[in-house]
DNA sequence: GGTATCA
DNA sequence: TGATACCAACGCTCT
DNA sequence: AGAGCG
């Protein structure tokens, strides 16, 4: 941490990405302890083929950390005035009547432009711009509360996967990048968030009755301790989850990483999956989560089994 | 991070 | 030239 | 009611 060096960091570089000229600025600035903005940009450049399919067709909320993970940060929905004209936008009028011009990040130039703005984390909505009110993803957001651990979340996820399979549903899993897991169920975009949320709540309740360490809804702090919360509320319009392969603004630069179900049985630490080793991991294996974008499933049978008219 | 506004 | 302000939003919990 | 959190 050399403050004097930081304040005089004028390192700049012009690059061309798929025909777009981009000015990369303050490349030596430290965004994590020991990690520069140059490394952030390099990470997303190398991972672009893996992350872009998930970002494409979903309105972006920017998560900007110009002063690093310990500095002031802010979110942004409205595309800034200085957004290059070739960046695609999606105007959307929310219920309150406010029109927001969202950025669409579907190509490498936009991804690199955002990385240069110190956009560390890339979130995704659970629905696409073609039909924002009908999600194509259902998420079981598994949050362990101390002394429950990531390992406990893995155990819950494995039981959840069995439950989903009994309902005729395939599921996939990734680390959240922080302390828990996201179990994803891709669906045809024909259900409302109210329906998918209720589906997650009910299956969560069922799991809760099977496993004492599971909590299907928020409770006072004392009751949460040592349990894994299934946060069904994540399945709502406008809510987001960390995109697969996105970095998190946390120490060691962890990555939200797709896992094979067999890996959940091992002793894992989510911090094992970070900026420095994910490229190696996906090289060869490819994107094991990709089916999530290509497997629209129907929930009709599951609704029936769970008593949802 | 980039821009606007005010001293 | 430099200091300051802006940039989302919603339900939940805790006090 | 309001602050704090995710
Ligand atoms: Mn979570
Ligand atoms: Mn959560």
Residue-wise pLDDT tens digits, A8-42: 677 899 999 999 999 999 999 999 999 999 999 99
> In DSSP terms, which residues pair with A107 in a beta bridge?
none
Cα A235 to Cα A167, A183, A184, A204, distances in angstroms: 19, 12, 11, 13
Q: What pLDDT sits at residue A301?
A: 97
Q: Which nucleotide comes closest to A25 if you measure CA to C1'?
A: B1
Q: What pLDDT sits at residue A220?
A: 82
**Strand C within 7 Å of which CB atoms in A 224-283?**
233, 238
* Mean pLDDT of the residues in chain A: 93
Q: What pLDDT sits at residue A4?
A: 41
- Nearest ligand to residue A270 Cα: 1
Q: Where are the domains of chain A?
A: 2-120, 137-305
Q: Whole-number Å distance, CA A219 to C1' C14? A: 12
Q: What pLDDT sits at residue A1?
A: 36
Closest CA to A239 of A125, A140, A137, A141: A125
A290: Cβ under 7 Å from strand C?
no
Distance, in Å, from the CA atom of A186 to the CA atom of A299, rounded to the nearest integer, reads 10
Q: What pLDDT sits at residue A97?
A: 81
Q: What pLDDT sits at residue A63?
A: 94
Distance, in Å, from the CA atom of A63 to the CA atom of A68, rounded to the nearest integer, reads 11
The pLDDT tens digits of the residues spanning A269-285 come to 989 999 999 999 999 88
Q: Whole-number Å distance, CA A221 to C1' C14? A: 9
Dist. CA A309 → ligand 2 center (Å): 27
Contact A278, A47 (CB under 8 A): yes
A99: Cβ under 7 Å from strand C?
no
Q: A2-120 maps to which CATH number?
A: 3.90.920.10
Running DSSP on this structure, what letter comes out for residue A297?
Answer: B
Confidence of residue A146 (pLDDT cuts 50, 70, 90): confident
The pLDDT tens digits of the residues spanning A205-242 come to 999 999 999 999 888 888 888 999 999 999 999 899 99
For strand C, which nucleotides have at least one atom less than 7 Å from a protein CB? 7-14
Task: Match 């990555």 to its residue by tokens.
Answer: A255
Q: What's the predicted TM-score (pTM) here?
A: 0.95
Nearest amino-acid residue to C7, taking CA and C1': A76
Q: Pairing state of beta strands A30-32 and A89-93? A: unpaired
Distance, in Å, from the CA atom of A77 to the CA atom of A279, rounded to the nearest integer, reads 29
Q: How many CB atoms within 10 Å of residue A260?
A: 11
ipTM of this predicted structure: 0.83
Distance, in Å, from the CA atom of A119 to the CA atom of A63, rounded to the nearest integer, reads 5
The pLDDT tens digits of the residues spanning A240-280 come to 999 999 999 999 999 999 999 999 999 999 899 999 999 99
Q: Pairing state of beta strands A30-32 and A35-36? A: antiparallel
- Nearest ligand to residue A234 Cα: 2
Sign of CA dihedral A298, A134, A111, A240: negative
Dist. CA A231 → ligand 1 center (Å): 7
Q: Whole-number Å distance, CA A238 to C1' C9? A: 9
Fold of A137-305: DNA primase, PRIM domain (3.90.920)
The pLDDT tens digits of the residues spanning A46-59 come to 999 999 999 999 99
């Amino acid at each position: 941490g050399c403050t004097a060096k930081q304040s005089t960091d004028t390192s700049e570089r012009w690059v061309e990405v798929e025909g777009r000229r981009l000015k990369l600025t303050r490349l030596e600035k430290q965004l994590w302890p020991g990690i520069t903005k140059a490394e952030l940009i390099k990470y997303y450049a190398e991972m672009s083929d893996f992350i872009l399919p998930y970002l494409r067709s979903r309105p972006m909320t920017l998560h900007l950390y110009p002063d690093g993970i310990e500095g002031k940060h802010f979110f942004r929905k409205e595309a800034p005035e200085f957004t290059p004209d070739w960046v695609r936008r999606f105007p959307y009028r929310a219920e309150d009547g406010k029109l927001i011009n969202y950025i669409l990040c579907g190509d490498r130039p936009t991804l690199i432009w955002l990385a240069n703005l110190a956009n560390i984390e890339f979130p995704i909505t659970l629905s696409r711009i073609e039909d924002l009110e009908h999600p194509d993803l259902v998420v079981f957001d598994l949050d362990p509360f101390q002394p429950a651990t990531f390992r406990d979340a893995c155990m819950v996820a494995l039981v959840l996967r069995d439950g989903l399979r009994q309902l005729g549903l395939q599921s996939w899993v990734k680390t959240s990048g922080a302390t828990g897991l996201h179990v994803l169920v891709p669906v045809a975009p024909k259900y409302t968030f109210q329906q998918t949320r209720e589906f997650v709540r009910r299956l969560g309740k069922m799991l809760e009755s099977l496993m004492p360490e599971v909590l299907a809804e928020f409770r006072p702090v004392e009751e949460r301790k040592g349990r894994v919360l299934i946060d069904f509320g994540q399945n709502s319009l406008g809510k987001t989850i960390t995109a697969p392969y996105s970095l998190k603004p946390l120490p060691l630069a962890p990555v939200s990483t797709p896992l094979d179900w067999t890996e959940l049985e091992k002793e894992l630490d989510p911090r094992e999956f970070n900026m420095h080793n994910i490229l190696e991991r996906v090289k060869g294996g490819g994107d094991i989560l990709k089916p999530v974008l290509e497997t629209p499933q129907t929930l009709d049978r599951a609704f029936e089994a769970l008593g949802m008219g």
